[in-house]
Amino acid sequence: MNGGRFEGRIAAVIGGGSGMGAAISRRLGSEGAHVYVADLDESSARAVAQQVGEDGGTATSRCLDAVQPGELKDLYDEIETEHGVLHVLHHQVGIPGPGGIDVSEKDWQETVDVNMKSPFYASTLAFELLKKANKKGSITLTASTSALVGSPFSPIYSLTKGALTAYVRSLALVGAPEGIRVNVICPGSVDTPMLPTFFGREPGADIEDLKSGFISEFIPLGRAAQPEEIAGVVAFLASDDASFVTGTAIPVDGGIVAK
């Protein structure tokens, strides 16, 4: 256990079933939050909720398609019925999208839906519950270093993730009178099951070679992040330790943006 910064508080992690989302769910639970682990993969959400319990915390798992506003609303309705309040919302859902600029309308729409529509509705539909958190509400979204620096690999990924950095500035102003803080994290390469997909957009790509080349050339710290390192930043932003931090985009990238 890391302490009790979230004792008595309710958290929801959208996309909490694997990778960074799973680590964030476990971290919030270890610090006392009751965590709703929501994921499209029901078995993964259940497994993470079980891990939270094994670590001494409490959690509820829910199967949820984060692109469907109705399913997000159902989750928040359940939280309101069970607890009457939400203190922490973290949105982790995202996809790399297609590489290059030859993008079909179908792929374009899917990338926009997952990377922009989902965080928009996940955050706005939770607002009424977060207002009840006695000015201790926190929203964190997940963008990418590709939201802050140019990437030649997937302009649509940069487009959709870059939108979140502007969005949190606006939403932070909406939430400020209610004490709802809104921030976005911008991870670089993180050692999760999704990482290889960023390097495997082209047929026949040598993923491991491309990954190691990128890390050695572009990341000053010389390695990918561990999911737990991302979770630590989210826990900070969601806690009272960050009570005066809102409307910011925070790189968690080993120095990529510093270059």
**Beta-carbon count within 10 A of 50 CB:** 13
In the block, which residue shows the tokens 């706005």? 124
Question: Closest Cα partner for 140 from 235, 68, 70?
Answer: 235
Residue 77: how many CA atoms within 13 Å on its side-chain side? 6
Strand order in the sheet with 249-252: 58-63, 34-39, 10-14, 88-91, 137-142, 180-187, 249-252
Side-chain half-sphere exposure of 105, counting CA atoms within 13 A: 0
Residue of 36, 121, 157, 167 marked catalytic: 157
CA gyration radius, the chain: 17
Decide if 38 contacts 12 (C-beta within 8 A). Answer: yes
Confidence at residue 1, expressed as pLDDT on a 0 to 100 scale: 45
User: Are the beta carbons of 137 and 85 closer than 8 angstroms?
Assistant: no
Q: Look at residue 151 in the predicted model and tell me its pLDDT.
A: 81
The contacts of residue 54 (CB under 8 Å, 6+ apart) are none
For 130-172, the DSSP string reads HTTSTT-EEEEEE--GGGTS--SS-HHHHHHHHHHHHHHHHHH
What is the torsional sign of CA 132, 67, 92, 39? positive
> What pTM value is reported for the model?
0.91
Residue 2 is predicted with a pLDDT of 46
Distances from the Cα of 59 to the Cα of 27, 77, 94, angstroms? 12, 17, 23
Tens place of pLDDT per residue across the chain (259 aa): 445 999 999 999 999 999 999 999 999 999 999 999 999 999 999 999 999 999 999 999 999 999 999 999 999 999 999 999 999 999 999 999 999 999 999 999 999 999 999 999 999 999 999 999 999 999 999 999 999 998 888 999 999 999 999 999 999 999 999 999 999 999 998 987 665 555 455 555 545 656 566 686 788 998 989 999 999 999 999 999 999 999 999 999 999 999 8
> Which residue type occupies 64?
L
Let me know: does 15 contact 38? Beta carbons within 8 Å.
Answer: yes
Token pair in block for residue 184:
């976005």
pLDDT tens-place string over residues 185-195: 999 989 876 65
pLDDT of residue 259: 85
DSSP run (H or E) holding 1: none
Please indicate whether residue 36 is annotated as part of the active site. no
Vertex 256, ends 251 and 259: CA angle to 5°?
120
Burial 174-200 (b: 16+ CB within 10 A, else e): ebeeebbbbbbbbbbbbbbeebeebbb
Q: Which residues contact 28 (CB under 8 A, 6 or more apart)?
A: 6, 11, 13, 35, 57, 88, 90, 231, 234, 235, 238
